[in-house]
Amino acid sequence: MKENEAKDISVVISLYNENESLPELVRRIRDVMKANGFSYEIIMIDDGSTDGSWKTVTELSGAGDIHGISFRRNYGKSAALYCGFKAAEGNVVITMDADLQDSPEEIPDLYRMVREDGYDIVSGWKRHRKDNKLTKNIPSKIYNAAARWITGIHLHDMNCGLKAYRNEVVKNIEVYGEMHRFIPYLAKDAGFTRIGEKPVHHEKRKYGKSKFGISRFVNGFLDLLSLWFLCTFGKNPMHFFGLTGILMFLAGGIIAVWLIVAKLIHQANGLDFRPVTDQPLFYLALVSVLAGIMLFLSGFISELISRSSSSRNRYNIKDRF
């Protein structure tokens, strides 16, 4: 392969305190690449490990096929993937976890689905999980069902770490916060809609323990709602805040006017009436009016911020001539 020629595959691996699993993981990846004749690079991002993982990465890099990035502290998987995507040069970018639960032997089929079948993204589906059913499997099914409903992307396992991407995809999305869970949704919003799925072998954890608890599903759902809002109303926040504010203002105003008019009619006809200020509904109406005004002003301010953003006219161009 010529020096300037793009590699077939970039394997991007985010790791945090996975020192024991790294030698076996790298050996298996190298065996797969050699058996299939792929040109490749392995990009390992050490997310602030404290167990000597970086030293092991450095020792394994002697063959020249490993590029390492070490964070000074733990920033999270999204930050690691962002740096890995930025450095990746392969035509196909494969992401996988460092805990040996993702099988490197799946790489050839993932590569073929991107290069030959034309997918932008192929996401792994851990159909038969080797995790604890109560703390991992059941919450995962609920979480993925919610993700399918909100995003419209019909993947069984959106959060699977084993995925394959066309290089163009990872260069046109920005992974931040905890958004690594929703890369297919980020890609869809960027215009990459050919998203496929492949059942993959899931192995039981061999070393160490999981770095993620049950809280990730709660946080993940909140992140999903945030991402949905940004993708839907990010460039036009007034469409959400303005409409909601107007509806609340009108509802509160109509109720308040109706209470006042009803009181005046009863009073004019000598009927018993209840003072408007003695009715809880009147105060709820005032709250609705004030909330509507605040939401409308929030939309107005958000629109001003959006219009002054440096990315307001940033678009992904597929082709030109």
Q: Is 70 exceeded by the pLDDT of residue 117?
A: yes
Tokens, residue 313? 């006219």
Chain segment 78-93, per-residue pLDDT in tens:
899 999 999 999 999 9
Pair (225, 89) in one structural domain: yes
Q: Is 80 exceeded by the pLDDT of residue 10?
A: yes
Domain end residue (candidates: 182, 206, 233): 233
Pair (196, 286) in one structural domain: no
> Please, is 74 exposed, middle or buried when counting C-beta atoms within 10 Å of its C-beta (0-12, 13-18, 19+)?
middle
**Residue in 165, 168, 174, 141 with CA at minimum distance from that of residue 155:** 141
State CA 20 to chain mean position distance.
28
Check residue 317 and give its pLDDT: 57
Tokens, residue 23? 């030698």
Mean pLDDT of 1-19: 83
Mean pLDDT of 148-176: 88
Pair (49, 153) in one structural domain: yes
Pair (14, 163) in one structural domain: yes
Domain end residue (candidates: 214, 233, 252): 233
Per DSSP, helices labelled H in the chain are: 22-36, 53-60, 77-87, 107-115, 138-151, 167-170, 183-189, 215-233, 238-268, 280-307
Mean pLDDT of 24-45: 95
Q: Is 60 exceeded by the pLDDT of residue 134?
A: no
Higher pLDDT pick, 137 / 178: 178
Check residue 137 and give its pLDDT: 66
Q: Do the domain assignments include residue 319? A: no
Best mean pLDDT range from 7-16, 119-128, 227-236: 7-16
Q: Are β-strands 92-97 and 163-166 bridged in parallel, bridged antiparallel, or unpaired? A: antiparallel
State CA 282 to chain mean position distance.
43
Identity of the residue numbered 177? G
Q: Do the domain assignments include residue 126? A: yes
Q: Do the domain assignments include residue 4? A: no
Q: Do the domain assignments include residue 81? A: yes
Segments forming the whole domain that contains residue 243: 238-307
CA distance linking residue 147 with residue 181, whole number of Å: 10
Mean pLDDT of 254-277: 87
State CA 56 to chain mean position distance.
30
Pair (215, 262) in one structural domain: no
Residues of the chain with pLDDT > 90: what percent? 48
Pair (245, 227) in one structural domain: no
Chain segment 60-79, per-residue pLDDT in tens:
998 889 999 999 999 989 89
Check residue 131 and give its pLDDT: 60
Residues of the chain with pLDDT > 70: what percent? 88
Tokens, residue 107? 């790489």
Domain end residue (candidates: 233, 264, 290): 233
Pair (105, 174) in one structural domain: yes
Residue 168: CATH number of its domain: 3.90.550.10
Q: Do the domain assignments include residue 318? A: no
Pair (138, 278) in one structural domain: no
Q: What separation in angstroms does the CA of 154 have from each of 44, 79, 262?
A: 30, 26, 52
What's the pTM value of the predicted model, to 2 decimals?
Answer: 0.75
Q: Helices 138-151 and 215-233, interaxial angle, to 10°?
A: 0
Check residue 228 and give its pLDDT: 81
Decide: 97 and 13 in contact? Cβ < 8 Å: yes
What is the CA angle 280-282-287, rounded to 5?
95
Q: Do the domain assignments include residue 137? A: yes
Pair (224, 250) in one structural domain: no
Q: Is 70 exceeded by the pLDDT of residue 210?
A: no
Q: How confident is the model at residue 314 (pLDDT cuts 50, 70, 90)?
A: low
Q: How confident is the model at residue 268 (pLDDT cuts 50, 70, 90)?
A: confident
Q: Do the domain assignments include residue 320? A: no
Mean pLDDT of 234-245: 86
Pair (26, 76) in one structural domain: yes
Pair (91, 182) in one structural domain: yes
Pair (156, 196) in one structural domain: yes
Q: Are β-strands 9-15 and 92-97 bridged in parallel, bridged antiparallel, or unpaired? A: parallel
What is the CA angle 124-193-180, rounded to 5?
50
Q: Do the domain assignments include residue 167? A: yes
Mean pLDDT of 277-290: 92
In the chain, the number of structural domains is 2
